[in-house]
Amino acid sequence: MRKIMMQQNYEAYQAEDQAVWQLLFKRQWENLEDKAVPELWPALKAAQSALNGQAIPNFKELSPLLQKEQNFSIELVPGLIPVEEFFALLAQRRFPSSCWLRKMEELDYLEEPDMFHDTFGHIPLLFNAQYADFMQEFGRIGLQVAHLPDAVAALERLYWFTIEFGVCKNAQGQAIYGAGILSSFGESIQVHKGQNCEFRPFLLESVLKHHFHKHEMQSVYYYLDNFQSLFGLLKSVEQRLLALA
């Protein structure tokens, strides 16, 4: 684990940064109205005093609010972090987030996640109690199997096809809950229209073996019957992964 805690230098954000945030937030808020799982909206409402389209969120406001609501906090990180550190943070109910923001010319493509992905994509659903507990349990299981490379790889695939790129079946097609889709204008439209992609029923064995690609829109998504189905997955996952020991 890192010894020095990162701090957000809020005064360093420029006018262009604020404009980028406002554009991204407004665009996705309007875009997701008919595309996201219903559980997203009360979560966003719970976060809205510190997470909204008016300005880049100040983590000195957002983290205490999340702590008050769900006993979860935000840990600032420079970017992608080692997987064992990631598991440890989740197990301690601390979500890692970057504090750098994409530039105007990078609105729709990034090499790695920025704070819009982390805060708009991930943080809102942490205001949902079941989801917050799920994330903590995910971290706990990750720490248990961190010494098993095959188990870690399987757990990373589960994370990818649920927390990052998860969808649920609904009457209109697919409802989005994965942060990678929630924070992406193009990918949320792709999923909603069902274009250039395939939707498969969520079969745990298939998901745990499915290799994914990080730097392009996904071509395969695994759908759950409903958002609540997510919270029953980890018991079966833990048993399977520990069997690899």
pLDDT of residue 2: 54
- Inside any domain, residue 40: yes
CB-based burial label for 84 (10 Å; 0-12, 13-18, 19+): middle
Counted domains in the chain: 1
Spatial distance between the Cα atoms of 72 and 63, rounded to a whole number of angstroms: 8
158 with 237: CB under 8 angstroms?
A: yes
Q: Answer yes or no: is 147 a known binding residue.
A: no
Sheet bearing 198-201, strands edge to edge: 173-176, 167-170, 220-224, 198-201
Provide the residue type at 6 as one letter: M
- Inside any domain, residue 1: no
pLDDT of residue 3: 53
Look at residue 244 and tell me whether its pLDDT is greater than 80: no
Domain hosting residue 57, numbered range: 15-242
- Inside any domain, residue 9: no
The string of pLDDT tens digits covering residues 72-116 is: 999 999 888 999 999 999 999 999 999 999 999 988 877 788 999
Of 27, 26, 30, whose CA–CA distance to 53 is shortest?
26
* Alpha-carbon torsion, ordered 33, 34, 39, 40, to 10 deg: -40
Partners of 95 in the beta sheet?
A: 74
The string of pLDDT tens digits covering residues 109-153 is: 777 889 999 999 999 999 999 999 999 999 999 999 999 999 999
- Inside any domain, residue 3: no
- Inside any domain, residue 6: no
Instruction: Give the mean pLDDT of 206-224.
Output: 93
- Inside any domain, residue 35: yes
Instruction: Give the mean pLDDT of 179-192.
Output: 96
Q: Answer yes or no: is 122 a known binding residue.
A: yes
- Inside any domain, residue 2: no
| CATH of residue 41 | 1.10.800.10
pLDDT category of residue 245 using cuts at 50, 70 and 90: low
Instruction: Give the mean pLDDT of 213-238.
Output: 92
Q: What percentage of the chain carries pLDDT values higher than 70?
A: 98
Q: Answer yes or no: is 213 a known binding residue.
A: no
Copy the structure tokens of residue 168.
Answer: 């649920």
pLDDT of residue 13: 98
Spatial distance between the Cα atoms of 32 and 21, rounded to a whole number of angstroms: 16
The string of pLDDT tens digits covering residues 43-58 is: 999 999 999 999 999 9
What are the DSSP calls for 196-213, one per residue? S-EEEE--HHHHHH----
pLDDT of residue 50: 98
Q: What is the pTM of this model?
A: 0.95
- Inside any domain, residue 33: yes
